[in-house]
Amino acid sequence: MKKIFLYILAGSLCFSACKKDDDVETYVEPEDIAVQNTYDDQSIQKFLDANYLDTQGNIKPFSATDTVDDNYKKLSQLAPVTLPSGVVYIKRANAQPEDAPATAPGKTIGATDITRIMMRAKTYIGANTSGDVAFISPTDMTGYNTIDGSGSPVIDPKFYFISTKNTLITQATTDAAKQQSYYMIEGFSEALQKFKAFDQPDGSAYNLQGVIIVPSRAAFARDAHYNYSGYSFRNRTFVFNFQVYKTEARPADQL
């Protein structure tokens, strides 16, 4: 009986791995990057229609069989804002610092600030699969899903800002790695500054304040990039579900 269980387990793991490989195999990179940009935009719109925010602000997919989510609004109905870069952000109602008297009015997030962010981050590929354009290959941004992992905010993520004085840049051995763009997700940095930061301890319970969706062209597109999660971000769109616990100005000698 034990052997049978092990065979079943091994088979299920194999199926899961093969399924993930199949997702990658069905994706054919468009020669024209403008086509990929179109896939990203269409996939983002489908994502906005297929998901909602629960009572803690977590992104959840609508169920086709369970009626528990019938009264929730689609992300597309939560006043999403699309920036010229293609980045989409959503400010969750009644979940901003200015909505909480103890922290009002919140603190402006500077472009070079040291941030502390509770988040869940995933990446996707916008793809045309047999005529159906949608996200495939959902993958965690390993190391940056603090809600499901450490339970503490990410401190000073390099993809928000990295100083040119950082040793990763000053000691880099390739021209690409000497550039801030090798590390920073420009669209994330741009959109996060549309929000304000709370001022709360790292151990506080989260109440996620919003969503930022960064299409590949506003992330790393097809450029070389820092190895954040052990896999390539080429053509990948990022979805961040987050709350900024705190922000502070970076010391001048670290800029």
Average pLDDT over residues 125-137: 96
- Side-chain half-sphere of 217: how many Cα atoms within 13 Å? 17
Mean pLDDT to the nearest integer, 82-106: 90
DSSP β-bridge partners for residue 212 = 89, 240
How much is the pLDDT for 16? 44
- Domain spanning 32-254, CATH class: alpha beta
Residue 102: per-residue pLDDT: 66
Phi, psi of 16 (to 5 degrees): -60, -45
Query: What whole-number distance in Å separates Cα of residue 105 and Cα of residue 98?
Result: 4
Q: 13 or 148: which carries more pLDDT confidence?
A: 148
The confidence band for 38, taking pLDDT boundaries of 50, 70 and 90, is: very high
Residue 236 clears pLDDT 60, i.e. is over it:
yes
pLDDT for res 191: 98
Gyration radius from the chain CA atoms? 20
10 Å Cβ neighbour count for 109? 18
**DSSP element (H, E) containing 192:** helix 186-192
Residue 15 has pLDDT above 60, yes or no: no
Domain boundaries defined on the chain: 32-254
Burial of residue 214, with CB atoms counted within 10 A of its CB: 0-12 exposed, 13-18 middle, 19 or more buried: buried
Q: Which amino acid, 196?
A: K
Q: What percent of the chain has pLDDT over 90?
A: 80
How confident is residue 103, by pLDDT bands cut at 50, 70 and 90? low
pLDDT in tens, 45-86: 999 999 999 999 999 999 988 888 888 999 999 999 999 999
For residue range 132-177, list pLDDT tens digits in order.
999 999 999 999 999 988 889 999 999 999 999 999 999 999 999 9
Say if pTM beats, i.e. exceeds, 0.75: yes
